[in-house]
Structure 1
Amino acid sequence: MKEEALYIVIAKAIEQQIRNNVLKIGDKLPSIRTVKREYGVSMNTATRAFFELERKALIESRPQSGFYVSRHSRSRLPVPTTSNPSVLSHQEQAENLIDKVYRSLNDTSITRFSIGVPANELLPIAKLNKSLLQATRTLDGSGTAYEEIQGNFKLRRNIARWSFTWGGMLTADDLVTTAGAMNALSYCMMALAKKGDTIAVESPVYFGILQLAKSLGLEVLEIPTHPITGMELDALRKVLPSIKLCLVVSNFNNPLGSCMPEENKKALVNMLSEHEIPLIEDDLYGDVYFGENRPKPCKAFDKKGLVLWCGSVSKTLAPGYRVGWVAPGKFKEQVIRLKLLHAVSSTTLTQEVIGDFLENGRYEAHLRKMRRTLQANSLHFTRAIHDYFPEETRVSRPQGGFVLWVELNPNLNVPLLYDQAMRQKISIAPGRMFTLQNQFNNCMRLSYGLQWSDELEKKLAMLGSIAKKMIR
């Protein structure tokens, strides 16, 4: 039997014991070292078996104690409902709400479930600092010189090499570096559309994308989106004649956490290709997957150069470095021209540092550790939501990324919940932020990119208690 399949065999054996009540709720499991010894496998294989059981919510870890059969091994919260935005609805940005949520960004006394980035404790800051010092010694002018317009060659070469994880056939020349993923999306929108054109997006979708589209004078068409499989392709097909371009967060959508199945991605690319409609793909969460393999982006199925694949390290390595990129396909020259007009050059030092980090294997080692932590965090959060939130609560099932989408009682006003939670120094992201329509007022996005602790659990319990009182 192949080594990579052994952890599944072990996980299934333990799962069967749980299903048959040999191991009952609350029972302590054998240690990972015991499983390693009894099955004659590596520590990594034994650990992966336990993570597989955690992923299914069959077991839970308790710090300094071990793994136990979960109280929720026989009960799971339902997933949120598929969104149903209106084509005719009046559009209005939730700018005041967004400003309120992000106004106190530097107040360290607030527990921020609202920010979808990893905590500093999850980032390899010391290693990045070492690379930064090295870059100042090796770069021309210690990094003060202009970078070439298309971007740092080492970075572009290593992004192209890294694309092998999803079957990409990119070269350094296919890529243009940017100041983060939002900057890449901005260049793409400006290259492809003019004021008055219509762009199709998921609903809900990251509020920055909505703000960017409206600032460029674009009309936004929100498409129904399933919390697990993403954009509903049948709904998109009906509006194809009216759209100029489409934008999707294909892997672990922010805020839903949905991941389009491979067959849906292929169908989406083919559908748009038939109508010569470009697809902007925001794939900055693709490397933060909890399964066996990185999910392919839509770009993997692009045959005409109509998919503009955007990414960054803002969610995996260094949010403040503002290092991103785009593989713009047939629109490369337009994107480079816009970059020259708007930026002239990219930041030399930070691009060199990230290029070096990708080159020597440190990135993958860091990602393995981060993925394990985030997967455990998502399970901790889901368990806490089950324990402390109102009975009608629904929660998403992300298999990667940083965020959970929580749907509460239809009568609960989450913007008001935000105000009450902030009095307890708890910040959440109300669902209304992620749409231009009057919807998702009973929803919220919670980030599990924080370091899990007893204090964090207390804050979630407090948030759930406030929600319960508002329903009564």
Structure 2
Amino acid sequence: MKKESLYLKIAKVMEEQISTETLKLGDKLPSIRSVQKLYNVSINTAKQAYLELESKSLIEPRAKSGYFVSKASMRKFPLPSIGKFKASAQEKQPEDLISKVFNTFEDKTISHFSLGVPDKSMLPIAKLNKGVINVVRRLNDDWASYEPVQGSVNLRRGIAKWSLVLEGKITEDDLVITSGAMNAIFNCLMAVTKPGDTVAIESPVYFGIVQIIKSLGLKAIEIPTHPITGVDLEAIKKVLPQLNACCFISNFSNPLGCLMPDEHKIELVRMLTTYDIPLIEDDLYGNLFFGPTRPKPCKAFDESGIVLWCGSVSKTLAPGYRVGWVAPGKYKEKIIRQKLLQTISTPSLYQEVIADFLEHGRYDHHLRMLRSKLYTSCLKFQRAIEEYFPSNTKISQPQGGFMLWLELDKKVDTAELFDIAIKQKISFAPGRMFTQYNQYNNCMRLNYGLEWNAQVEADLKRLGRLIKAVY
């Protein structure tokens, strides 16, 4: 029997045990070594069987404890559909819809399930405020001067030291500080493309990336994306000769929350290296993992400098600080020249506050607390949606981040539903925002990065009723 079919056979046996509740919620599974001996297979085959179960969210690893039947295995709703391949379909831009959603953000009476940041209650604002005071005292008047073009040495050193997941692949000299991750992505696209070039993106994709691509006069090819494992590598292979760059979120994409397995990352980097196609990697959500360890970015497997690794603290610490960075590989000098022309430097005050936060271990402590809150909130949102939304709803199974992607009945137009919901003081992001084509009209993105309370549950219940009333 082939190795591939053997690990799938083992996984199927365990999946059956979970579905019949022979293995119940919270039960510990046999160790990988036990599975190896029981089925007389290699360690790698046993590991692959568990990875297969984990990719379906049926089991979850716990640090130093092994594998357990996950809460997600009890889910009632299926995963969302995978989008169709789109390369030359008729475009229909959603700018008006994006503006309509953004224009609601200042109204504090609205329940903002549409926001792309965690709630303020989940952020260490008091500690950051104290950090601002300490930095102003320490720097005297120096914080009002120009920084080096690459950014604060303290911050770059802190990011390099803290990025253990890259196993020493970057140093402070490899990094350039930017005004948030979007500014980093904008600069990366400017550095590796020219007007008329073609960029591969996910589908659905964060609408800001589509807007940047259009503003630079580039063309985008939307690659079908699996809600668990990310972009379809076979689909990328079909369009490789047309591509001048790729722009992907490999860890917990927005809006699907999918996580590209290491094997896929390695293969993606290998393919792109062969064709010398740069990969702009947005790793904005990589620290918000629900598993036992932080997933590696594609940058960890880059030996040729083709991966431009972008990150920021906007989704984890302080959205308003606008502190981001990029490790641009072989495109570093071009990025530095562009930054010098555009902004000369980035403000030093907030860079030093973040550097101080990284240096003294407070960031790691905060992230542990934040991940725990987000995971709990994710499970509560999913349970509420299964209870209050129509029974044919499909829902994503994020493995990190704070976004849920819902696919509703075909009869539901979420752009029209938004107009109804906003009158009830409920906001969400309609699916049409996350593509350049006329698709995902029956989908929506919800932000579960909110403190769970009775009001949140009541608003989800009301939203469910509104959806049911549509058809």
The two structures have a TM-score, normalised by structure 2, of 0.86
- Matched residue, 2:251: 251
Contact between 2:285 and 2:401, CA under 8 Å: does it hold in 1? Answer: yes
Alignment-mate amino acid for residue 235 of structure 1: A
- Matched residue, 2:404: 404
Structure 1, unaligned runs of 5 or more: 1-11, 25-46, 59-72
- Matched residue, 2:358: 358
Change (3 A) 1:376 1:48: farther
Distance 1:100 1:22 in 2: 45
Contact between 1:289 and 1:295, CA under 8 Å: does it hold in 2? Answer: yes
Alignment-mate amino acid for residue 422 of structure 1: I
Q: Deviations over 1:355-388 (max 9, x none)?
A: 1101110000000000000000000000011001
Tell me which stretches of 4 or more aligned residues in structure 1 moved more than 6 Å. Answer: 21-24, 47-50
Q: Deviations over 1:388-447 (max 9, x none)?
A: 111110000001001000001112111111111111100000010010001000000000
Change (3 A) 1:380 1:214: same
The equivalent position to 2:71 in structure 1, one of 56, 71, 75, is 56
- Matched residue, 1:442: 442
Distance 2:171 2:64 in 1: 36
Secondary structure (helix, strand or coil) at the match of 2:163 reads: helix
Alignment-mate amino acid for residue 331 of structure 1: Y
5 Å matches for 1:264-303? 264-303=264-303
Secondary structure (helix, strand or coil) at the match of 1:19 reads: coil
5 Å matches for 1:36-435? 55-57=70-72, 73=74, 75-141=75-141, 143-435=143-435
Change (3 A) 1:416 1:336: same
Distance 1:309 1:54 in 2: 34
The percentage of aligned residue pairs carrying the same residue is 54
Alignment-mate amino acid for residue 237 of structure 1: K
Distance 2:200 2:396 in 1: 23
Secondary structure (helix, strand or coil) at the match of 1:247 reads: strand
Contact between 2:166 and 2:299, CA under 8 Å: does it hold in 1? Answer: no
- Matched residue, 1:19: 21
Distance 2:309 2:301 in 1: 11
Contact between 2:269 and 2:298, CA under 8 Å: does it hold in 1? Answer: yes
Contact between 2:111 and 2:427, CA under 8 Å: does it hold in 1? Answer: yes
Q: Offset of 1:19 from its aligned partner?
A: 3.4
Alignment-mate amino acid for residue 105 of structure 1: F
Distance 2:285 2:237 in 1: 26
Distance 2:25 2:72 in 1: 14
Distance 1:23 1:79 in 2: 20
Distance 1:139 1:169 in 2: 31
Q: Deviations over 1:112-154 (max 9, x none)?
A: 0001211111001111011100110112515111111100011
Alignment-mate amino acid for residue 120 of structure 1: K
- Superposition RMSD in Å: 2.2
Contact between 1:54 and 1:379, CA under 8 Å: does it hold in 2? Answer: no
Distance 1:308 1:86 in 2: 25
Secondary structure (helix, strand or coil) at the match of 1:406 reads: strand
Alignment-mate amino acid for residue 19 of structure 1: E
Alignment-mate amino acid for residue 102 of structure 1: F
Contact between 1:54 and 1:376, CA under 8 Å: does it hold in 2? Answer: no
- Matched residue, 1:452: 452
Q: Offset of 1:168 from its aligned partner?
A: 4.3
Distance 2:96 2:286 in 1: 31
Contact between 2:151 and 2:346, CA under 8 Å: does it hold in 1? Answer: yes
Change (3 A) 1:120 1:240: same
Distance 1:347 1:327 in 2: 19
Q: Offset of 1:57 from its aligned partner?
A: 3.8
Distance 2:275 2:168 in 1: 24
The two structures have a TM-score, normalised by structure 1, of 0.86
Change (3 A) 1:114 1:168: farther
Change (3 A) 1:130 1:53: farther
Alignment-mate amino acid for residue 400 of structure 2: G
Q: Deviations over 1:189-237 (max 9, x none)?
A: 0011111001010011100000000000001111111111110000010
Q: How many residues align?
A: 420
Q: Offset of 1:166 from its aligned partner?
A: 4.2
Contact between 1:203 and 1:223, CA under 8 Å: does it hold in 2? Answer: yes
Q: Offset of 1:86 from its aligned partner?
A: 2.4
Q: Deviations over 1:231-281 (max 9, x none)?
A: 000001000111100010000000111110110000000000000000000
Alignment-mate amino acid for residue 449 of structure 2: G
Secondary structure (helix, strand or coil) at the match of 2:141 reads: helix
Structure 2, unaligned runs of 5 or more: 1-13, 27-61
Distance 1:325 1:371 in 2: 22
Q: Deviations over 1:140-186 (max 9, x none)?
A: 51511111110001100011011113434210000000000000001
Distance 1:345 1:54 in 2: 50
